[in-house]
Structures are given as structure tokens and as C-alpha cells.
Amino acid sequence: MDKVRIGSVGLGRLGLQHAENIAGRIQNAELVALCDVDKPKLEETAKRLAVRHQFTSFEELIACKDVDAVVLVSPSALHTKQIAAALNAGKHVFSEKPLGVNVAECKEAEKAVEAHPDKVFMLGFMRRFDESYKYAHDKVAAGEIGKPVLFRSYSQDPEKFIQGAIAFAPHSGGQFLDMAVHDIDLARWFTGSEPETVYAIGGCYAHPEFAASKDGDNVSCLMKFKNDCMVFLFAGRTAPHGYNVETEIIGTKGTLRIASVPQKNLVEVLDSHGVRKECSENFLERFDTAYVNEVQEFVNCIFNKRKPAVTVYDGTRVSEIAYTCKNAFETGELIRF
Amino acid sequence: MDKVRIGSVGLGRLGLQHAENIAGRIQNAELVALCDVDKPKLEETAKRLAVRHQFTSFEELIACKDVDAVVLVSPSALHTKQIAAALNAGKHVFSEKPLGVNVAECKEAEKAVEAHPDKVFMLGFMRRFDESYKYAHDKVAAGEIGKPVLFRSYSQDPEKFIQGAIAFAPHSGGQFLDMAVHDIDLARWFTGSEPETVYAIGGCYAHPEFAASKDGDNVSCLMKFKNDCMVFLFAGRTAPHGYNVETEIIGTKGTLRIASVPQKNLVEVLDSHGVRKECSENFLERFDTAYVNEVQEFVNCIFNKRKPAVTVYDGTRVSEIAYTCKNAFETGELIRF
Amino acid sequence: MDKVRIGSVGLGRLGLQHAENIAGRIQNAELVALCDVDKPKLEETAKRLAVRHQFTSFEELIACKDVDAVVLVSPSALHTKQIAAALNAGKHVFSEKPLGVNVAECKEAEKAVEAHPDKVFMLGFMRRFDESYKYAHDKVAAGEIGKPVLFRSYSQDPEKFIQGAIAFAPHSGGQFLDMAVHDIDLARWFTGSEPETVYAIGGCYAHPEFAASKDGDNVSCLMKFKNDCMVFLFAGRTAPHGYNVETEIIGTKGTLRIASVPQKNLVEVLDSHGVRKECSENFLERFDTAYVNEVQEFVNCIFNKRKPAVTVYDGTRVSEIAYTCKNAFETGELIRF
Amino acid sequence: MDKVRIGSVGLGRLGLQHAENIAGRIQNAELVALCDVDKPKLEETAKRLAVRHQFTSFEELIACKDVDAVVLVSPSALHTKQIAAALNAGKHVFSEKPLGVNVAECKEAEKAVEAHPDKVFMLGFMRRFDESYKYAHDKVAAGEIGKPVLFRSYSQDPEKFIQGAIAFAPHSGGQFLDMAVHDIDLARWFTGSEPETVYAIGGCYAHPEFAASKDGDNVSCLMKFKNDCMVFLFAGRTAPHGYNVETEIIGTKGTLRIASVPQKNLVEVLDSHGVRKECSENFLERFDTAYVNEVQEFVNCIFNKRKPAVTVYDGTRVSEIAYTCKNAFETGELIRF
């Protein structure tokens, strides 16, 4: 194989970013096909990125012989079926999270992946591919901070996107499924362990609209993991300063903090507001390189005939945990896994 | 009254610091008496600080007509009785925390204070008198960060003091009573609310010795407060970088962080370890000014015939909450207040 | 001697601060006299601080037998004469900088000090008594950063005080004399060396009014010191973020930065302006503790019959250097000392 | 044109990086040829990056019809001639700095560029393409910090590369030409002005070997620009903490600092050394994205038939200034441009 020929599905904000990345920032890959139901956007993007195939139908895309692998950035409800269909059509599959919209779907996805052991399947937990998270994980794995004591992780969307979040609330699954899944993935990845208990709280502090979906605008949970590590997660939608994803791992010998200041870049401003750093505005800005790195890893796996470290089972497990957190939040009870 | 004449009780590390502060850093006050069972230390200190009365007996101290007010930095088990005795002897009383070693004792202290409405009684929650905490509290009170969403507070002692902590473990009451009381006080002060539920976890990650006292070397709890504010507290004894007391208050309109880097001073070092700030080594260093400010406030209250904002009831309430946290930690159950 | 009885001269902003410090924050000292031409302010302050003597005449103050030492915070033009008169009257003398308004005056002050070897004389280079500067100096002295390569120091007043600075411009002596003297003192103290050459530039970037006094609103100079250390100083009057005094010492083995962010305290704010630290507003806020420490050292020297590390010759030397910088700035020429 | 077909010349560290970038991180470009005298490295790299042409002769490369543009990362002494030859052969040219090893050569390069107005010529001042520098420049251009008062820029190589620097010293041209050229470029770019005077100092603080080349291991200069802006540059080779490139622009309304902490990533470590950030180790790590962005801009210019903002005249001017700084350093005199 000279280059991995990729068909990318979905041209929303992240889909477009993935398409542009594959077109110009991924080695040994070629963006050969695009698929979206929005025909004008499809045509415009295909032209701009010099993509040779355009499809408004997913089935046609996976029937295309010129495509080796698909990247799924479609609506969450389609993921499970598209994963199975693409694998059955002989394609390698990279799918954005979630694996499925419930645990039963995740299990279906597992079966589809198990049925195609020769294909590469990878799930988009992009934070693992962020340079800072990777660097911190290497240190933890090397024992530099000793035994993990407390893992704390925040995911906060900016207040300025609140109208979109309110509109999407009935479909988001709630913050544990929509946002905290990334923190849950990190908690498992950094601690190498699994949760035993969870207590979850939160509420609608600024936007009562989330209550109708049994969600809050800000929520949190405290979990005890099997290796005794304490895990505290916080997810919010009302950050005034920007897109704030930060993680702290306190160990017996040291502590690591990742992005405790979600600085946009290396510029510091000294003005009438004091000495300040401006912040990342959204996930695309913050995880720009991580989105490239994860697809590069997918391509490298295909090339080198190896499997990614992130497995389909990680997707299922994270979903199970997120549903349990959601359940804990809704009932107000302490839940044991 | 020209100056408030103070007798200080107890010459341990903090007691000595209070004595030196009263002798030289408090306006309108005079250190006229010292009391400690260690006679050589008593004599040496009295001489060094030019203090005119020395007592090895607390009873004699409070019988001294030359004393207007006492500052209690004696062992915790003596606090309640000494508070009552000093008030009965007509003295104003400043007592270091705790008010008593159990809630019953706290209630006794309340009665003693209530019996002397003309006397100033103040409890040493020094963090409220730290410049940074005061500055942050002013901002919260002024509504600058909107409604409190998450209150997170850490108290971490340095690993280098661990042998002392292990030796003291059977008498400390555990970390919720020994350390987290300050964070509990701050949570109530910043949120203006009270806890409804608590879930507490932790363990012995580095030092199994704490298990014998049903304690951990690192513990945490998540509480829901009546105003819906989420409160996450963490207390640890194994910080490698120094004495780490930090607090974050996330509100609907802004977030404040106090001492998220427990920097010793304004010096930054660039060397083979990177760019770094050295950290406070202990509570005396970190809260040096706060210890002065709190006693100054005590003296000002006496002078101006007003009462401190921190009341005896705050002491009781904080103890009740800390005991509930301890109970939650020991049972592993979610507890509703 | 029981306590050093101090008379404080001048009740401007800094004078008032010194008076309050001596009254309440200095050990082994007593504020027994105040002197100022503003009678109402004198009376109000004397009453508030319970000071027993008040003088509108400096001569009467130094004639007072009840006074052991004077602290001079009077107008600069009076310093030299007051230093000599007070020493002649048998008082120990602490004087705010400058020693004199020209080098000839400084030499006179030297003679007065030399004529009274039994008296303590100290000049107010308060930065040496700031905890952060002291900490950094200890590290340099201990060889932790190797040989000094570059010493960089900034003194910036806030833009908000510009009207006062403009009004004072004709009398200030210019920024090298008015502000950079502190940086010059630090440069000598940190490097242990003296300047060989100086090139100075600057201008009126925002406020043309300074040109009338042959001054700029922002100026800088580069000096080569005898030990080869490069010294870059910057002095400005238009800082929008606050009072910014920062210093960097780059050595062959490490670099130290002091107050590169002039943060007000340990609070960090996260809001629509990003993540920010609010800044010190003026010298009284920034050097609050340093002003206490320097007078404490003066008192300790009197008590322990020793001499301060800062000598009268430091005052002369700093003035000579500042005048040379001023001359370099006014002529635009490279000057060799 | 479908894609710009690029031949890359020179496979040293930066050359290799450019080759890899063109192969995989640049849109609308294709790496079709490599040229280096080291045949094994040439073959290995060509194979690894799937490059179809390999040349050990520059003349053969530019004779190749399959090449649209060349990227020159060859030894500095070859730049001028290769720029002219490639342009004459009808290629677009991107050249790493310097334009030539003396001003006469730069003028030759100017003529070559002027003779080919239809070709894109671009010089590698990569810092202008760093996200942080671009962000800061946008703010300055938008007037956010008012009028520039002081421009300060540091370029420090890590001490750990000192042996290479010593070996290269006789050929480097000295630090003003080798390192400070980037700071000079930035000073002109940020201030929009040109120097009027320069005073330069420095020395061999740790490594006397540089004296033989009339260079220092650390040097600095202070320049006055025509718009009155003060410009202070520092270049060093002995940074213990890493690769430190930082810039500060103080304006009348605000100050910007770029990379004042040369942090490797967003990880903060809390351990026995304090709270610290690890630093970039070299230019390739620090300017990784800038190297991609600059070549992308070169390709975009070719595609869109426009000229880059960095011109050949910038290259000449920066060289002239650097030579003047070098002259000032060697003579110890103040030089007026």
C-alpha cells in the first residue's frame, strides 16, 4: 500500500477539521472520499480539498473500492451501525466517540470489531494524543509520581456556547455522557484501574433549562477506584474564560497538572486587567494537534499492521461508567459498580 | 484602656509564634504574661520578649489582675475548660481551634461564651485573615463570580513531616478533624451555606500506619450544600513540594483560585529542573501574616467593644461537620446531615 | 535601653506608613515623637498612634531628650542637613533615599556619619529587605546561579499616577535619580561590582511634559560592570497594569527572576479576560513588609551595637552612578566611569 | 498546478525536519526531490519519505523538470549562489537564513530576486510564523498596546549544546549574526522601524574559547530605533534550563510577553524542586509548528501567485544590522547607523 485512502463521513465542525487534517497534515494518507447529506457543503469541501469522490449516501461510500478506511464523524446515533457496516465492507474504521448511544449498542460494536480481527478499529479518545497528556502519562507510567492518590479532571465548555448546549440538551445524554466520558477515559488510562463506587451531584446554577433533560449545567462526581485512587470529575457548561479541560494527578511522590491554565498560546498580556493569559476558545483550538495525532496513529496502525492501544472495550467501559454516573446523579444515591 | 494586656498560654511552635507576634507585631496590645509547663522555655521566652509575668499554672495566669485577655495555644484537650475558666475569670479569650475535642465539649464552650456577653471570644480560623483569602472573599461577597457552583479546597502537609504525623495519629482525630476543619470553615464562609450530604473516601497510599487510627494518609470528600453548591475537600500528608493549602471557587460568572501554586515568595528559578517556584514549607510560613491579623482583630474587637465575625457557633458547626465527614469516611456510606 | 525611642520626621504617604509601622509593627521600638509642618495632620496622627511628643520644628525634635533615634522621611532637599544635625544632636539616624540631592551633598553626609562612629546611620534601600529580594540574594551569594552574566531590573510606576509625576517632574531629578537608584543599588548589591560604562536612551512616548525637565516618561540604560556583568535598567511611568518592580539575574548556572509578575497576592481570577493575576498598585503595597524589615534592622543595629550592611557610601555611590546615567541620557553619548 | 513539487536541499537537523514537514504536513505540496552530499542519509531519507528523485549535486536538482520549487537548508556559505542558480533555473526559492554570509552577498541575492519577479522568494524568519508571535504581532498592529516603548528579546541556547557551539564558533559569525538576527528581524517587524544607534557588550563568562573568534558566550546590545523605541537584545549560549527564546514589547497602553517561560507543554510538575514547568530543549521543539507554517505560506504564495510579507530586503537589512552590532561589540564603541 502506498498511502491509506481515507473516506471521511460527516462535515460538521469536527468532521471538517478531520477532513482538512487528512488532506494536509497526515503522513501516508490520502483523503479520497467525503460523505455528508449536505450536498453544497460536500461539493464545496471536496473541491477545496481536491477530493475525488463525493457521496451523500454512507452505503455508497463503503461500497467504493478506492477507499481503504473510513473516519466516522457522523451523528452519535449512527456510529454503531456505521462501524459494523464499514467493517463488513472491508474497511478500517476510526470512529469518533461514543461507540454507541447505550451500552447495548457498544456491545454490538464490540461484536462487529471482533468479527474483523484483520481490520484496524480505533475510537477517538483524542486527549490521549495531546502532547501534554502524553507527556504526563509517560511520567506516571515511569513511576515518577509514585502511586496515584487523587485523579481530578475538569471539562468545562464556555458560557458563550450555552444556547447550543441548551438546544442539544435533550439529545446529549447529559454531561456525564457528553463531556465526562473523556475524563473517565483519562482516569482509567492514568490509574490503570476501574471504579468501585460513585457519588454524583450538581444542578442548574445558571440555566434551569437543563433540568428538563434531568441534567445540570454543572455536575461532579467522586469515585473510589479499585486500586484505592480517589477520582473527582467536574463537568460544566458555564466557564466564562474559555474552554477549560484540566487534569491533576496527585501521587505519593509528586503531582502533575495538565493545562491548569487553558492558555491559548505563549502570550502574556499586562494591561489594566492585570497580568493575564487568554484562553482556548473551544475543543478544536485546544486539541488541534491531538486530532491530527490520533488519525496519524490510526494510519500508522494500518500501515504497520498493528492495533491501537485504545480498544473497542475501552469505548464500552467508558460508556458503562458514564451511565452509572448519570444514574447516580439522577437518583442522588451512592452507587457501587 | 491604653493597651490590651495579653497572657499567652502554650509555647509550642504556634504558641511561640503568637507570643512573638503579640510582643512585636500587634498594635494596641502588650504581652504581659506567658504560661507553659516547660519552665526553662518559659523563662527563656519571657526574658527574650521582656514579658513581666511567667506562670506554669493556667489557674494562676487567669487570676492575674494585670491580664485583660488570654490567647490559648494549649493542647486541644484543654481548650474547652480553659475557655470557660478564663471567661469566668473575666478575661477576653482567643482560642486556637478546635473549640473542643468533641461536639459535647463545643456545646459547653458555647454556654461559657453565652454566659459572658460582655467578653470578646474568638476562635483561630486564621485563613479568614490571610490577605489572599480575604481578597477572594470580598470578590465573592461582591458578586463578582456569580453564584457559587463548586468549592474545592486542599490541605496538604509536606511528606517531610510524616513521622510527626504518624506519631500524632492516635490523638489527631483523623484528617477531617485535624486538617479539613479549616477547609470546612472556608466552605461555609465562602458559600454562606451548610452541608446536606457527604461521601468520603481515601486510604493509606504511602503510610499504612494511619490505618490503626482509622485514618488515611490522604482523604477526600464530596458534599452537597443546601444552596446546591458542590464542595470537594482533599486532605493529605504526603505532599513532596511543601505545605499546600489551595482553594478554588467556581462561580457562574467567574472562578477564583487562591494559592494554587503555594509559592514561598516572588522568586522564580530557572535551572536544570526547568522554570520553578519554591514552596512554603509549613503553616507558620504560609500563614505568617494571617496569624498576626487574627490576633490584631481580636485586640481591635476588645478595644472597639465589638464582636468578631467568627463566632463560637462556627466552631461547633465546623466540628459537627468534620465528625460527620469522619463517620462517612469510616463507614464508606453516603451520609445526609 | 529598654526600647529604642524613635522620632519620625515627615508625614507624607511613606512617612505615615513608617510612623504606623514603628508604632505597631517594630519590636523593641517605641514611637515617641512626630514632626511635620502640617499641624492638623500631626495632631491627628499623634493622637491616633498615641505618640507623646509633637513637633512642627525639626530642631525641637532633635533637641528632645526623650528621643534616641530619628527616621527621616522628609523632602529630599532636607536630607543632608537633617542627617548631620540629628547625628550632631546625638541621635541615631535612618534616612529615606536619597542621601542628598547631588553628589556634593552626599559627601557632606559621609563626613557627618564619619564624625559619629558611635551612631547607627542607615539609608532606606528597602528592596534589600524584601523577602523575595533577600531570598534571591542569598542564592546568588551561595553561588547557586554561578557567575552573574546579565542583571536586568525594571521600575515602573502606574500610568494612573502620571499627573503627580508630571507635577513633580521639575523636582524629581529625572527617572534615573528618582526611580532607577533602587535598581542601581540592587545591581551593585547583587553583582558586588561597579559600572565601567553606560549608554542611556528613552523618550516621551506618552507624555511630552517630561521633556521640559530633560526627562522621559520611559528611559533605559545598558551598563558594563567591572566584573563584566551586563546591567540593563528600565524605568517607566506609564505601566497600565500596576506598580511593576522586577529583576532578573542570569548567571552561568541558573537564572533568578524576582516579581516578574507583580501580583497583588495569591489570588488568580478566571473570567472573560482570561486567567489573570491582579497587580500591586503602588510601592507601599508592594514593599509593605520591606519597610517594616528595614526599620527593624535599624533598631536591631542600635540594640546590638552593630552597623547596617547598607552604608552611607552606598548612598553616595548610587547617586554618582545615577547622575552619570542622567548625563548619558541627556547627551546621548556613551560614558565611561 | 495540482501540487507544488518541492526539492529540498540539505539534510542536517533542520533540513531533515523541513523534508519531513513537506512530505507530510504541508497542504498542496509534494516532496519530489532531495539533495545532499551524504549519500547513505540521502537514500535512507528518500526511501522513508517516498521521494522519487535523489541528487548529490545541487545543479542536477535544479535541472530537474519535475521540481517547481526548492527549499534551501544548505550551509550558509552556499545560500547566495544557490538562490541565484535556482531562480535562474526557473524555480521558486525558500531559503533558510542567512541570505548571505556578508552584506555584499545579500546584495547579490537581492539582484537575483529582482531579476525574477515572477518567482516567489522567501526567507526563513520562522518566528514570524509561530502562533504566539503572530498573535502578539496582531495585537500590536491593532494598537492594543499603544506606541512601542521597549522591545526586549532574548535568544538563549542550552548549555548542553556548548561543545557544538564552541566547535562552530569560528564559522558562526558570532552571536549577533548567528542568533540575534532573529531578534533583529522581530524588532523591525514589531516596531516597524529601523535602528539609529547601538551599544553592545558581553563576554566569555563560562567558556573562554569564544574569545578566539572575537565572540562571547553571552552578549547584549541596546539600540535606539528611529521611532524612539528602545530595543534591548540578549543572546546567550549557556542557559541551564533549555532553549529560551522570549520577547517582551512594552507599549504605552500595555505590555506583551511571548514565551517568558519556555515551557515544553502544558504540564506542571509539583515535586521536591517546587512547582515547575519543564522547558523546550531546542529550536526544533520550540518552533515545530512555525517551521510548518512558514513553508505552508511559501506554498500558498506560489499557489495564489502572491509574494510573502518577508522580502529579500528584510534579509539584507537584518544582516547589515547584525554586522553593525558585531562591530559595536568588537570595538566597544557606540555606533550610529
pLDDT digits (tens, 9 = 90+) for D236-281: 999 999 999 999 999 999 999 999 999 999 999 999 999 999 999 9
- Residues in chain C with CB shorter than 8 Å from the CB of B269 are 139, 254-256
- Domain C-terminal end among C78, C97, C119: C119
Percentage above 70 pLDDT, chain B: 100
Is residue D275 within 8 A of residue B261, CB to CB? The reply is yes
C145, C252 contact by CB (below 8 A): yes
pLDDT (0 to 100) of residue D2: 78
Asked if residue D153 and residue D114 are part of one domain, the reply reads no
pLDDT < 70 regions, chain A? 1
D26, D258, D272 member nearest A267 (Cβ): D258
Beta bridge mates, C276 = A276, C269
Question: Are D270 and A257 in contact (CB < 8 Å)?
Answer: yes
Location of C-alpha cell 533555473: D89
A122-173 pLDDT, tens per residue?
999 999 999 999 999 999 999 999 999 999 999 999 999 999 999 999 988 9
Rounded average pLDDT over C199-225: 97
Residue D305, domain member (yes or no): no
In this structure, are C143 and C268 located in the same domain? yes
Share of chain D above pLDDT 70, in %: 100
Q: Kindly provide the b/e burial profile for residues B142-152, where b requires at least 16 CB atoms within 10 angstroms of the residue's own CB.
A: eeebbebbbbb
A303 part of a folded domain = no
pLDDT tens per residue, range C298-337: 999 999 999 999 999 999 999 999 999 999 999 999 999 9
Q: Edge-to-edge strand order for the sheet containing B121-124? A: B53-55, B29-35, B4-9, B69-72, B92-96, B121-124
Three-state DSSP state, B237: strand
Contact list, C259 vs chain B (CB under 8 Å) = 266
Domain encompassing residue C47: 4-119
DSSP strand pairing (C4-9 vs B335-336): unpaired
Note whether A278 contacts C277, CB cutoff 8 Å. no
Pick from A71, A96, A119: which residue ends a domain?
A: A119
Grid coordinates given for C182 = 533602587
Task: Please name which of C275, C138, A253 lies closest in space to residue B261, comparing C-alpha atoms.
Answer: C275
Touching check for B205 and chain A: CB below 8 Å? yes
Q: Does A275 touch chain C (CB under 8 A)?
A: yes
User: In this structure, is residue D217 part of a structural domain?
Assistant: yes
Distance of CA D294 to the CA centre of its chain: 10
Grid coordinates given for D160: 548542553
* Res B60: pLDDT: 97
Which residue in B2, B131, B254 is closest to C270 by CB distance? B254
- Quick check: is A323 in a domain? yes
Say how far apart CA A335 and CA A328 lie, in whole Å.
Answer: 6
Same domain, D98 and D146: no
Distance between CA atoms of residues B36 and D158, nearest Å: 56
Return d(Cα A329, Cα A316) in angstroms, integer.
20
Nearest Cα to D265, choosing from B86, C160, C23, B274?
B274
Nearest to C265 among B23, B131, B261 (CB): B131
Find the CATH number of the domain harbouring A49.
3.40.50.720
Residues C209 and C69 in one domain: no
One-letter amino acid for residue B160 of the chain:
K
Write out the H or E segment, with its range, that includes residue C83: helix C79-88
Centre a 10 Å sphere on the Cβ of residue C242 and count the other Cβ atoms it contains. 25
Q: Are residues B51 and B177 in the same domain?
A: no
What average pLDDT is seen over chain C? Answer: 97
Measure the CA–CA gap between D7 and D93, rounded to whole angstroms.
10
Same domain, D218 and D329: yes
Grid coordinates in use for C241?
497594569
* Phi and psi torsions of A136, nearest 5°: -65, -40
Report residue D304 CA to chain centroid gap: 24
User: Residues with Cβ < 8 Å from B249, sequence gap 6 or more?
Assistant: B136, B140, B145, B148, B150, B151, B152, B190, B255, B256
Band (pLDDT 50/70/90 cuts) for residue C27 is confident
CA dist., res. A94 & res. A307, Å (int): 12
Largest Cα separation within chain D, whole Å, is: 62
Residue A175 CA to residue A218 CA, distance in Å, equals 8
- Secondary structure of residue A77 in the 3-state scheme: helix
Composition of chain B by helix, strand, coil, percent to 5? 45, 25, 30
Please check whether residue D173 is in contact with residue D214, taking contact to mean a CB–CB distance below 8 angstroms.
no
Instruction: Return d(Cα B204, Cα B199) in angstroms, integer.
Output: 18
Q: How far apart are CA A293 and CA A311, in angstroms?
A: 17
Counting residues of chain A whose pLDDT is more than 90, the rounded percentage is 97
Closest to B225 in 3D by CA, of B317, B107, B98, B129: B317
Q: D55 phi and psi, to 5 degrees?
A: -135, 140
Nearest residue in chain A measured CA to CA from C270? A241
Kindly report, residue by residue over D176-188, the tens digit of the pLDDT: 999 999 999 999 9
In order along chain B (337 residues), what is the average pLDDT of each group of 10 residues? 91 97 91 97 96 97 98 95 98 95 95 98 97 98 98 98 95 93 98 98 98 97 98 98 98 98 97 97 96 97 95 97 98 97
**A62 and A157 fall within a common domain:** no
Residue D310 lies in a domain: no
Whether A47 and chain D come into contact, CB under 8 Å, resolves to no
Minimum Cα–Cα distance from A222: chain B residue? B222
Helix (H, G, I), strand (E, B) or coil at D255: strand
D241–B270 CB contact, under 8 Å? yes
| C-alpha grid cell, residue C242 | 500596576
Kindly tell me if the per-residue pLDDT of C84 is higher than 80: yes
In a domain, D113, yes or no: yes
Biggest CA–CA distance in chain B, Å, is: 62
Q: Round to whole Å and give the CA distance between D52 and D32.
A: 5
**From D270, D272, D276, residue closest to B275, measured CB to CB:** D276
Determine, for residues D275 and B277 on separate chains, whether the beta-carbon distance falls below 8 Å. Answer: yes
Nearest residue to B82 via CA among B3, B8, B173, B180: B8
Comparing C-alpha atoms, which of A256, A183, A166, A259 is closest to residue A217?
A166
List pLDDT tens digits, range D204-241. 999 999 999 999 999 999 999 999 999 999 999 999 99
What is the nearest CA distance from C60 to chain B, expressed in angstroms?
Answer: 27
HEC letters along A213-271: HCCCCEEEEEEEECCCCEEEEEEEEEECCCCEEEEEEEECCCEEEECCCCECCCEEEEE
Tracing cell 507624555 back to the chain, one arrives at C207
Q: Which of B17, B93, B8, B1 is nearest to B287 (CA)?
A: B17
- Tell me whether the omega of the peptide bond preceding residue A98 falls within 30 degrees of 0, making it cis: yes
Q: Are C277 and A274 in contact (CB under 8 A)?
A: yes
User: Does C269 touch chain B if contact means CB atoms closer than 8 Å?
Assistant: yes
- Residue D202 in contact with partner chain C when CB distance is under 8 A: yes
Q: Would you call A71 exposed, middle or buried from its count of C-beta atoms within 10 A (0-12, 13-18, 19+)? A: buried
Average pLDDT score, chain D: 96
End-to-end CA distance of chain D: 45
Q: Are residues B22 and B111 in the same domain?
A: yes
Domain boundary among B56, B84, B119: B119
Q: What percent of chain D has pLDDT over 90?
A: 97
Confidence (pLDDT) at C210: 97
Is the model's pLDDT at C1 over the cut of 70?
Answer: no
Report pLDDT digits (tens) over D8-41. Answer: 999 999 999 999 999 989 988 999 999 999 999 9
Both B14 and B68 in one domain: the answer is yes
Q: In this predicted model, what pLDDT tens digit does every residue of D187-196 receive, in sequence order?
A: 999 999 999 9
Q: Residue D1: pLDDT above 80?
A: no
Residues of chain A found within 8 Å of residue D50, distances taken between Cβ atoms:
2
* CA geometry: angle B17, B18, B22, nearest 5 deg: 120
* Ranges B97-101, C178-182, D133-137, D207-211: which has the least confidence: B97-101
Angstrom distances, CA of residue A178 to CA of A13, A322, B58, C1: 16, 9, 62, 74
Q: Where are the alpha helices (DSSP H) in chain A?
A: 13-24, 39-48, 58-63, 79-88, 103-114, 131-141, 162-172, 175-178, 180-191, 283-286, 288-303, 312-331
The pairing of strands B69-72 and B92-96 is: parallel
- Kindly state whether residues B91 and B159 are assigned to the same domain: no
Query: Do D204 and D254 lie in a common domain?
Result: yes
E-strand ranges in C120-243 read 121-124, 148-158, 195-203, 218-225, 230-239
CA distances (Å), origin A265, targets A280, D135, D264:
8, 8, 12
In the prediction, which pLDDT does D24 show? 87
Q: What is the pLDDT of residues C88-134, one digit of tens each?
A: 999 999 999 999 989 999 999 999 999 999 999 999 999 999 999 99
Q: Which long-range contacts (CB under 8 A, 24 or more apart) does D160-163 make?
A: D161/D237, D161/D282, D162/D206, D162/D207, D162/D217, D162/D237, D162/D238
For C47-73, what is each residue's pLDDT tens digit? 999 999 999 999 999 999 999 999 999
Q: β-strands B255-258, A255-258: how paired?
A: unpaired
What are A188-204's pLDDT values in tens digits? 999 999 999 999 999 99
As beta bridge partners, residue C18 has none
Say whether C153 sits in a helix, a strand or coil: strand
Q: Is residue C242 part of a domain?
A: yes
**Is residue B176 a part of any domain in this protein?**
yes
Q: How far apart are CA C74 and CA C70, in angstroms?
A: 11
Residue from the list A147, A201, A238 with its beta carbon closest to the beta carbon of B224: A201
Q: Give strand pairing partners of B244.
A: B156
- Test mutation, B238, B270, B280, chain D, max D CBs within 10 A: B270
D11 plus D112 within the same structural domain: yes
Nearest to B257 among C2, C50, C268 (CB): C268
Q: Residues A46, A50, A52, A54: what is their CA dihedral angle, to the nearest 10 degrees?
A: 0
CATH number at residue A154: 3.30.360.10
Domain count along chain B: 2
The three-class DSSP label of residue C32 is strand
Separation CA D151–CA C146 (nearest Å): 27
Q: What is the number of helices (H) and of strands (E) in chain D?
A: 12, 15
Task: Write out the three cell numbers for A29.
Answer: 494518507
